[in-house]
Amino acid sequence: MLRKIRTAVAIAVIAILTFGFIDFAGVLDNPLLQKIQFGPALLSLSAVTLVCLIAATLIFGRLYCSVICPLGIFQDFFNWLSRKFDKKKKFGYKPEQPWLRWGVLTVLVIAWLCGFTFLVGLVEPYSAYGRMADELFRPVYLFGNNLLAAICEKFGNYSFFKVAISLKSITAFVVAILTLLVIGHFSYHYGRTWCNTICPIGTLLGFFSRFSLFKMRIDANKCNHCLACQRKCKAYCIDSVSQKIDYSRCVDCFDCIDACRQKAISYSPIKSKDISRFQASADSVDESKRQFLKSTLVIAALAPAALEAKVTGVKDTRVPMSPPGSVSHKNLLNHCTACHLCVSKCPSHVLKPAGMEYGLGGIMQPVMKFDDGYCNYDCNLCSQVCPAGAIKPLTVEQKHSTQPGRVVFNKNICVVNVNRTSCGACAEHCPVQAIHMVPFEGGLTIPETTPDLCVGCGGCEFICPVKAVHIEGNPIHLEAKAPEQDTGIQTTDFDFGF
Amino acid sequence: MDRREFLKTLAAAGALVTVKSNGMMDVMASTLPSDSQATAADSNADLAAVMNGEPAAMLEAAMKELGGIGRFIKKGDKIVIKPNIGWDRTPELAGNTNPDLLAALIKMCQDAGAAEIKVFDHTCDNWSRCYDHSGIEAAVKKAGATMVYAHEQSSYERVDIPNAKTLKSAQVHKAIIECDKWINVPVLKNHGGALMTCAMKNHMGIVWDRRAFHSRGLHQCIADICTYKPAVLHIVDAYRTVATNGPQGRSASDVVLTKALFASPDIVAVDTAAGKFFTQINKNIKFEDIEHIPDGQKLGLGTMDLESINVKRVRL
């Protein structure tokens, strides 16, 4: 029964969460499930979410890994699939690999402190799933939609509309494919091994779940050591022979409860009888605690040196532009796990996963690019959806006065100057007249810039036929000045005029 | 079977229209009153200019002067109405054609027996925001016409423009290619590059790649695209006019409540009238500098000589 409830909730959660990534029509613009993910909450230090999740783990164990974490649920799908093909598939008990788990976590913390957030984002489970959803599942969904739209259009029905399918970034696409292969392979063959060796969230929550109130408990009187639970346990954490369960690795999938024919396993709060078993697990807690302390010390010792050695400077001659609300490249770098929710939500396809624009540490973090569109003046969606505090919430008014980048005009290649023909496409697209047309030779007009007004929307760069205008990013965002109101050349004194 | 016949008819209609639009002389004949039409033309204006009314009332007055919508469309026609929906702006900021005017026009076409009315524009800002915030999608749907999408390249087809000087071919929206007749409903505005945007400039919204216009000579390309498949009627919305900082306008201070409307089957005449009206409001712009209007006249799209045609001025 518990298992069925867990499965149903997990399916609902992953369905809604995935829809949040592939939904192009803006049905689900404030995705709640993305905001309660542990990884982004940790990086944004959103205390409420963290306290709730840790408290839930202390009470219920790592239920998070079975019903909230999309990558966990996704792995269960592969595990289910493998059982469809191999009815006799068996797991067994394997001892914990504390060095590996805590080692990986330590490396990640050091990487994060050194500004290599890329590494953290690579294995942070929610973000890894988000990228697969955005890079791999979304195009499939769009393709289906476009097919439907094309069919409807044939019959004169315009209820559905087509959406361009494009490769946003080769890096992100390759990473998503690799994630799918690695995660698919691991979970198809080895159940939740990934969660209990590599996943940093799994390690952290595993630390707390040892002490959880509710646990799987084996009734020694009923158990006949048949190994059924152990064979079913995708976390390899039940030792049926000695009737012990490693609670740091148990993800509360409840598969063992259903597998036990003796009804010897129950999910219940602590009982006084279990003191000896609690003692046993407390030993291992101590060990990992010690390790945790050691790691912390190592990090503390290494961090200052590492920070000095931090990747400096951007290789490209152009300064990349981080999305409005991200405050600075540094803030983005420190918080973004590259889940690509903002990338998938951006209605104008401006946000793209970065390559090396921000340096090594910021690979796959969102960068503004104006190849397929430009940032809507009145849109603040990316700032509203970010679960990690990498893009802080902006109201539309706040966005209007935020300057993530500034306009640069190269008169030497402007078509008005070179061809002596009218253009003005850049000024036409500027919502604040940071580019405006001023009299040039003859009746022609040529662009003139007032960079202080610029909001970095990229309309000018997008439309310029020769790329004579572009936006240069501000590593630390500035404030855009409010345009002055001038009505001097207008008049209300007029007639037909002819 | 039905569909096959429908497709045949469509192809035939398309071919007919193409043949018709190929002949420059036909364009001349349809826009300039010939001798045989002279008697009828006495009562029907070639250009109607209306001031001081609400959009729907001004449209009604103008169409009365022009001889009714029935002069331009016939029962059973498949019609496209092409407004300007370029910007993510509300109706008060006048970045787009007035939705009330469009609703009234749709009603008129329905009453004239139009079999199908489609409305679209290739927007500059994000299309769904433009369709939504301009109030046009809601007005069109409420009036019972079809809002068509234009944000995807697959909605466009490359066509030849034999009468063009520079823009010899372009990717034009299928709705325009396939319709029997279309009505051009621009909004009059200032424009940083073209100085003024009106009936001719509004044609940039029927093509996919606008950058080509800017790189190859904006004014000539605007005139060129107008020769592709001339609209049967041009209705200029000048109820509110972005006088400065166009074509978007920065704020309401760029907008003047001008309460005017110009309508004519002659695109050059209607832009001339609108241009002369506009240069009174923004005195910094000289009518002579709006080059695409004389360029259009040179291509035989119509006349700039408002004295030579029957102009009716109406004040409500």
- pLDDT value at position A67? 95
- pLDDT value at position A93? 92
Dump pLDDT digits (tens) for B213-227: 998 988 899 999 999
Residues B170 and B224: their CA atoms lie apart, in Å, by: 10
Q: What is the mean pLDDT of each run of 10 residues along chain A (498 residues)?
A: 94 95 84 91 91 95 96 96 90 92 95 92 96 96 94 89 88 95 95 95 95 91 90 93 92 93 87 47 48 55 47 58 96 94 93 92 94 93 93 95 96 93 91 91 90 96 94 96 69 82
A352: left (phi over 0), alpha (psi -120 to 50) or beta: beta
> A162–B248: do the CB atoms touch at under 8 Å?
no
> A465–B256: do the CB atoms touch at under 8 Å?
no
CB contact residues (below 8 A), chain B span 181-220, against chain A: 191-195, 210-212, 214-220
Residues B304 and B296: their CA atoms lie apart, in Å, by: 9
Q: What average pLDDT score do residues B16-28 get?
A: 45
- pLDDT value at position A245? 93
Phi, psi for A331 (deg, rounded to 5): -60, -40
- Smallest Cβ–Cβ distance between A158 and the set B147, B218, B280 belongs to B147
Q: What is this model's ipTM?
A: 0.81
**Closest-CA distance of chain A to residue B151, Å:** 8
Q: Do B262 and B198 form a contact (C-beta atoms < 8 A)? A: no
Distance of alpha carbon B73 from the chain centroid: 15
pLDDT-based confidence at residue B29 (cuts at 50, 70, 90): very low
Q: What is the DSSP pairing of strand A215-218 with strand A265-268?
A: antiparallel
**Closest-CA distance of chain A to residue B27, Å:** 25
- pLDDT value at position A271? 63
User: Minimal CA–CA distance to A65: which of A209, A257, A266?
Assistant: A209
Tokens of A178: 């690799």
- pLDDT value at position A444? 87
Q: Do A210 and A286 form a contact (C-beta atoms < 8 A)? A: no
Dump pLDDT digits (tens) for B167-176: 999 999 999 9
Dump pLDDT digits (tens) for B112-151: 999 999 999 999 999 999 999 999 999 999 999 999 999 9
Taking CA–CA distances from A457, the nearest residue in chain B reads B125
User: Minimal CA–CA distance to A490: which of B141, B258, B254?
Assistant: B254
The residue assigned the tokens 């002389």 is B25
Taking CA–CA distances from A446, the nearest residue in chain B reads B193
Instruction: Show residues of chain B in contact with A428, CB under 8 Å.
Output: 124, 191-193, 246-248
Q: Do A486 and B244 form a contact (C-beta atoms < 8 A)? A: yes
Is the pLDDT higher at B53 or at B252?
B53
Dump pLDDT digits (tens) for A380-412: 999 999 999 999 999 999 999 999 999 999 999
> A162–B247: do the CB atoms touch at under 8 Å?
no
Residue type, B84: N
Distances (CA, A) of A8 to A59, A68, A234, B170, B190: 21, 12, 18, 53, 59
Is the pLDDT higher at B26 or at B145?
B145
Instruction: Show residues of chain B in contact with A150, CB under 8 Å.
Output: 154
Dump pLDDT digits (tens) for B229-257: 999 999 999 999 999 888 988 888 899 99
> B280–A497: do the CB atoms touch at under 8 Å?
yes
Instruction: Show residues of chain B in contact with A466, CB under 8 Å.
Output: 215
Most confident range (mean pLDDT) of A442-451, B39-48, B63-72 is: B63-72
Give the residues across from B51 on adjacent strands.
B260, B315
- pLDDT value at position B12? 56
